[in-house]
Amino acid sequence: MTRADIEAFFATLAAANPHPKTELEYTNVFELLCAVLLSAQATDVSVNKATRQLFLVANTPQKMLDLGLDALEAHIKTIGLYHSKARHLLATCKILIEQFDGEVPRTREALQTLPGVGRKTANVVLNVAFGEPTMAVDTHIFRVANRTGLAPGKTPLEVEQKLLKRIPARYLVHAHHWLILHGRYICQARTPLCWQCAVASHCDFQPKTNKKSS
């Protein structure tokens, strides 16, 4: 992708969806952190189905601890890896209370001290909750970045660093959501829906003849 292609790519996505949002459901930063932790190797749909009831009874670190392991597992048992996720979540709640006054920290370094929170999860929280221009590279973003030529890389970190350099600053805050949604619904893993894609003419995946004729 050229710089002109990148500009047009994001301008098109922005025009179609000016205020993109995560598809995870939450009402406070703690709920968002929980939802992102639970979403590893799971769909947002499955997480939302479980957390709708969970957050009614446990929407703070203390309430989550009071719920206990057995009850927490019962709420999230439909989500993959729920045993380990429940343990990580309760351990996280304990740390939030003991070290952060029950609040979700606002730095990547502090977030990554929490059990089960890696760089991607920390970046999601920083971006969605606090409006930081971070780039959480999941499977969708990794695929879109490589397939389109936007930011080719062999590792999520390499792709993240390239995206932060190549995406114009005015698009960075929302770029994470635009790329995820594009990968989830259009630039799909097995068969990208190029004939439905509004940015196909700016994508390296398309044959050059198609780019010229579009």
- By annotation, the residues acting in catalysis are 120, 138
Residues in the chain: 214
Q: How far is CA 98 from the centre of its chain?
A: 27
Q: How far is CA 94 from the centre of its chain?
A: 24
Q: Which amino acid is at 135?
A: M
Confirm if 199 and 41 have CB atoms less than 8 A apart: no
Alpha carbons within 13 angstroms on the beta-carbon side of residue 172 total: 18
d(CA 136, CA 40): 12
Q: How far is CA 197 from the centre of its chain?
A: 21
